[in-house]
């Protein structure tokens, strides 16, 4: 049991634990404000398809609708952002309802469940023989469905005949622990692969099938595009950025997601890893040397474009400008990461920037706010990652706006032996919002409601008994992070490195967002 200072952090930590382990994360809150404080964390898990169980309190049933302390319609509130939400009205059924809620977390695409347990139901003592207690290993089954077998053969045929195929591996591949099947599939069929979410790092840098800067180019020119475990949402331009001439295939755990927002040529609903393994088997031995040569030429073409794009970014990655360019900060963090470091991004523009530079070495070593875009996830995610993997280093890059939301629970992380390194890209602004307002309204009217104070956050690290350092020049980023790493190893306390970055530099993703056009 990890007791935190704020319920939002608790919910994010449960989410982070689920993302790191593939197991159920659990958050328990009091009624009323305890539940409402956790809403953002639960909603983040809902949009990110993360399996967490939120157990909330409620006043006694004998006081129902009498105006008791913290009384709210919690189940009604939580229903839209969970896969399952219910009250528990019998002490005999508490364990049974917990198993029911947990089962729904893994039904199809993963997600959160909510249970409300009134005080008198929880306090009541009953004979153990009268309780309904499912066996922990027997209340649900492992689902590795491949969907319609005929569609497996159809997809194998499509891929065997493809000349310029491309595949995008999304969050579900990692969440369902299908990385081994995905890697084998990619290599066996000679397909260039792109990864997002926690699937980043599934293929190592330098692998001939690993691509990360040419997704838009591939999606405009590929003849077959396979989307696995990620929806056609705003991050994918709702599917509109994909060539209309391509054969488009979508694999997803959720039947309702397949074909949503964009017509597809073929859809498969089921477990991503199981489906990819079945397709690989169905296509085995059917791709001749001529077809493989065409694919090698296709990947060589993409590699040239990747190299050109990286070359274009290098001046920003290596600039010594002052204030520090945020791209330089992201680049230095990537250079700093160890082979097993878990990287977490918490913020808006700074996370978009870091996606251009930070390359996790293995799957599951990247976490970010996800589709809900919640700020404040970093503290809970970092704590959970360190508790799940105490032998691994955890580094969280915060925007200064995000750091201000949940950072007091860094003390909680320390208290439970889960220290991590917090690096803050501090531009004294909510910069993603600031860019949109300036672009739309100009300097005079747009630079309002988005500026923050110049806060030396390193003092916070020192205040909670850890390490803190301010960085004003690019050349000092690496040495400061190294000193922080050494301090964590020596003291078991968190470290905060506050890096002052240029508020007038933005990520291309921020500039491209349709809400600003």
Separation between Cα atoms, residue 94 and residue 131, nearest integer Å? 8
pLDDT for residue 120: 95
Classify burial at 272, counting beta carbons within 10 Å of its beta carbon; exposed 0-12, middle 13-18, buried 19 or more: buried
217 and 111 belong to one structural domain? no
Q: Are 468 and 498 in contact (CB under 8 A)?
A: yes
Separation between Cα atoms, residue 431 and residue 449, nearest integer Å? 11
Separation between Cα atoms, residue 247 and residue 266, nearest integer Å? 8
Alpha helices per DSSP H over 176-239: 179-189, 215-221
196 and 236 belong to one structural domain? yes
Question: Which among 404, 403, 409, 405 is positioned nearest to 423, based on CA atoms?
Answer: 403
pLDDT for residue 45: 98
Residue 142 lies in a domain: no
Residue 140 lies in a domain: no
Taken in order 392, 393, 397, 403, the sign of the CA dihedral is positive
The DSSP output letter for 258 is: T
Query: What are the DSSP calls for 78-97, one per residue?
Result: HGGGSSEEEE---GGGHHHH
pLDDT for residue 136: 83
Residue 144 lies in a domain: no
Q: What is the Cα gyration radius of the chain?
A: 24
For position 111, which CATH number holds?
Answer: 3.40.50.970
279 and 162 belong to one structural domain? yes
Q: What is the 3 state secondary structure string of 333-381?
A: HHHHCCCCCEEEEECCHHHHHHHHHCCCCCCCCEECCHHHCCCCHHHHH
* 3-class secondary-structure state, position 309: helix
342 and 245 belong to one structural domain? no
Provide the greatest CA pair distance for the chain: 76
* 3-class secondary-structure state, position 218: helix
**How many other CB atoms sit within 10 Å of the CB of residue 183?**
20
Residue 138 lies in a domain: no
351 and 405 belong to one structural domain? yes
359 and 411 belong to one structural domain? yes
Residue 63 lies in a domain: yes
352 and 499 belong to one structural domain? yes
pLDDT tens, per residue, the chain with 517 residues: 999 999 999 999 999 999 999 999 999 999 999 999 999 999 999 999 999 999 999 999 889 888 888 999 999 999 999 999 999 999 999 999 999 999 999 999 999 999 999 999 999 999 999 999 998 878 888 778 998 999 999 999 999 999 999 999 999 999 999 999 999 999 999 999 999 999 999 999 899 999 999 999 999 999 999 999 999 998 899 999 999 999 999 999 999 999 999 999 999 999 999 999 999 999 999 999 999 999 999 999 999 999 999 999 999 999 999 999 999 999 999 999 999 999 999 999 999 999 999 999 999 999 999 999 999 999 999 999 999 999 999 999 999 999 999 999 999 999 999 999 999 999 998 888 888 888 889 888 888 888 899 999 999 999 999 999 999 999 999 999 999 999 999 999 999 999 999 999 888 766 555 454 4
Q: Which of 270, 303, 336 is the last residue of a domain?
A: 303
pLDDT for residue 491: 98
pLDDT for residue 363: 92
Separation between Cα atoms, residue 67 and residue 32, nearest integer Å? 12
Separation between Cα atoms, residue 401 and residue 186, nearest integer Å? 39
260 and 374 belong to one structural domain? no
pLDDT for residue 514: 46
279 and 428 belong to one structural domain? no
Residue 191 lies in a domain: yes
Q: Tokens 């959160």 map to which residue?
A: 112
For position 245, which CATH number holds?
Answer: 3.40.50.1220
Residue 135 lies in a domain: no
507 and 423 belong to one structural domain? yes
453 and 373 belong to one structural domain? yes
pLDDT for residue 507: 81
Both tokens of residue 79? 């229903």
Residue 312 lies in a domain: no
pTM: 0.94
**Cα–Cα separations (whole angstroms), residue 278 to 50, 274, 353, 371, 492:** 25, 6, 37, 29, 46
Q: How many domains does the chain have?
A: 3
178 and 221 belong to one structural domain? yes
pLDDT for residue 511: 59
Residue 240's domain comprises 149-303
Q: Which of 130, 162, 191 is the last residue of a domain?
A: 130
Taken in order 445, 450, 453, 458, the sign of the CA dihedral is negative
Q: Are 516 and 440 in contact (CB under 8 A)?
A: yes
Q: Which of 303, 335, 358 is the last residue of a domain?
A: 303
Phi-psi region of 272 (alpha: psi -120 to 50; beta: other; left: phi over 0): alpha
**How many other CB atoms sit within 10 Å of the CB of residue 73?**
11
Separation between Cα atoms, residue 341 and residue 349, nearest integer Å? 22
Separation between Cα atoms, residue 345 and residue 367, nearest integer Å? 6
Separation between Cα atoms, residue 430 and residue 444, nearest integer Å? 17
- Packing angle, helices 349-357 and 289-318, rounded to 10: 120
pLDDT for residue 446: 86
């Amino acid at each position: 049991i990890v007791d935190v200072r704020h319920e939002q952090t608790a919910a994010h930590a449960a989410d982070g634990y689920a993302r790191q382990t593939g197991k159920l994360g659990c958050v328990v809150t009091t009624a009323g404000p305890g539940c409402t404080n956790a809403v953002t964390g639960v909603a983040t898990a809902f949009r990110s398809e993360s399996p967490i169980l939120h157990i909330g309190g409620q006043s006694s049933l004998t006081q129902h609708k009498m105006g008791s302390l913290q009384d709210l319609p919690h189940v009604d509130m939580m229903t839209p952002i969970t896969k399952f939400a219910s009250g528990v009205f019998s002490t005999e059924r508490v364990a049974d309802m917990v198993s029911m809620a947990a089962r729904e977390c893994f039904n199809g695409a993963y997600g959160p469940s909510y249970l409300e347990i009134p005080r008198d139901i929880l306090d009541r003592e009953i004979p153990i023989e009268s309780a309904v207690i499912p066996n922990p290993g027997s209340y649900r089954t492992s689902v590795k469905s491949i969907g319609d077998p005929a569609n497996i053969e159809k997809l194998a045929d499509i891929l065997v005949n493809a000349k310029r195929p491309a595949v995008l591996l999304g969050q579900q591949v990692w969440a369902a622990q299908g990385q081994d099947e995905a890697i084998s599939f990619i290599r066996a069929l000679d397909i260039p692969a792109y990864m997002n979410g926690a699937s980043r790092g599934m293929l190592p840098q330098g692998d001939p099938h690993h691509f990360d800067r040419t997704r838009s180019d591939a999606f405009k020119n590929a003849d077959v595009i396979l989307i696995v475990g990620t929806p056609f949402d705003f991050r994918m331009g709702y599917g509109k950025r994909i060539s209309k001439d391509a054969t488009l295939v979508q694999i997803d755990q959720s039947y309702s997601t397949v074909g949503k927002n964009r017509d597809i040529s073929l859809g498969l609903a089921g477990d991503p890893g199981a489906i990819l393994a079945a397709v690989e088997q169905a296509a085995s031995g059917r791709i001749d040397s001529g077809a493989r040569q065409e694919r090698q030429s296709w990947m060589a073409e993409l590699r040239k474009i990747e190299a050109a794009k990286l070359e274009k970014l290098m001046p920003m990655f290596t600039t010594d400008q002052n204030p520090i360019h945020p791209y330089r900060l992201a680049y230095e963090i990537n250079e700093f990461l160890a082979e097993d470091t878990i990287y977490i991004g918490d913020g808006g523009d700074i996370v978009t920037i870091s996606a251009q530079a930070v390359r996790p070495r293995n799957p599951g070593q990247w976490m970010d706010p996800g589709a809900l875009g919640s700020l404040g996830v970093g503290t809970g995610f970092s704590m959970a990652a360190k508790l799940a993997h105490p032998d691994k280093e955890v580094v969280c890059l915060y925007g200064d706006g995000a750091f201000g939301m949940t950072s007091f629970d860094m003390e909680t992380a320390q208290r439970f032996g889960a220290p991590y390194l917090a690096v803050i890209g501090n531009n004294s602004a909510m910069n993603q919002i600031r860019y949109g307002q300036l672009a739309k309204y100009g300097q005079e009217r747009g630079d309002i409601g988005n500026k923050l104070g110049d806060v030396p956050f390193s003092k916070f690290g020192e205040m909670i008994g850890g390490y803190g350092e301010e960085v004003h020049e690019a050349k000092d980023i690496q040495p400061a992070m190294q000193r922080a790493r050494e301090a964590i190893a020596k003291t078991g306390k968190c470290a905060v490195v506050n890096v002052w970055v240029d508020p007038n530099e933005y990520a291309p993703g921020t500039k491209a967002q349709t809400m600003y056009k």
